Amino acid sequence: MDSATTQRSLISLAATLCLILIHSTPANSYNNSPNAYEVLREYNFPMGLLPKGMKGYDLNSSTGEFSAYFNETCSFSVQGSYELKFSSTVTGYISKDTLSGLDGISVKFFLLTLNIVGIIRNGDNLVISAGVESAPFPIDNFEESPQCGCGFQCSLSE
């Protein structure tokens, strides 16, 4: 795998994680406040990115500042090659089509670890930024909901 491909793959994974973390919310949040799926839709991001097992989120709707919470660090491998890791708290800013200032999501490929810092929706693509690199990924790639531990492979291993 050449380095550009590796970089893109890492970014893709990290992006998926970021989106998931940012928008995830516990099942009990549907009472009054919008749930995470609704929050995603409001900001024009795909709904299917929510991982199972999220604890909750806080969102300041005037500033877009958010915090997303896991019970503990959430990590899983993707395609048997990459490890995505979410800190127990992930923070950043969300506005329509834009996630920025992300902190708490990383993607690890062998010895290389990149932090996902931003995600922008551009038409049918999500442009993911990790470090100084950014690359577009089809939004269709973000329809699955990974799960801590087994990631995207849960149904296959059950």
Query: Would you tell me how many other CB atoms lie within 10 Å of the CB of residue 80?
Result: 7
Exactly one of 3, 31, 62, 155 binds ligand NAG (CB under 6 A); which one? 62
CB-CB contact of 45 with 66 (8 Å): no
Q: Please work out the total of residues on this chain that contact ligand NAG, with binding judged by CB under 6 A.
A: 6
Nearest CA to 142 out of 1, 36, 15 is that of 15
CB-CB contact of 32 with 2 (8 Å): no
Of residues 67 through 96, those in contact with ligand NAG by CB under 6 A are 71
Minimum distance from CB of 52 to ligand NAG (Å)? 8
User: What Rg value do the Cα atoms of the chain yield, rounded?
Assistant: 14
Candidates 34-42, 57-65, 80-88, 100-108; binding stretch for ligand NAG (CB under 6 A): 57-65
Q: Does 63 bind ligand NAG (CB under 6 A)?
A: yes
Please identify, using beta-carbon distances, which residue of 74 and 126 lies nearer to ligand NAG. Answer: 74
The first and second tokens of residue 128, run together, are 């993911």
Minimum distance from CB of 56 to ligand NAG (Å)? 8
Please identify, using beta-carbon distances, which residue of 12 and 87 lies nearer to ligand NAG. Answer: 87
Question: What are residue 130's DSSP bridge partners?
Answer: 116, 133
Candidates 15-23, 60-68, 90-98, 113-121; binding stretch for ligand NAG (CB under 6 A): 60-68
> In this structure, what are the phi and psi dihedrals at residue 46, rounded to the nearest 5 degrees?
-65, 145
Please identify, using beta-carbon distances, which residue of 90 and 127 lies nearer to ligand NAG. Answer: 90
Write the Ramachandran bin of 44: left for phi over 0, alpha for psi from -120 to 50, otherwise beta: left
Chain residues that interact with ligand NAG, rule: CB under 6 A: 53, 55, 60, 62-63, 71
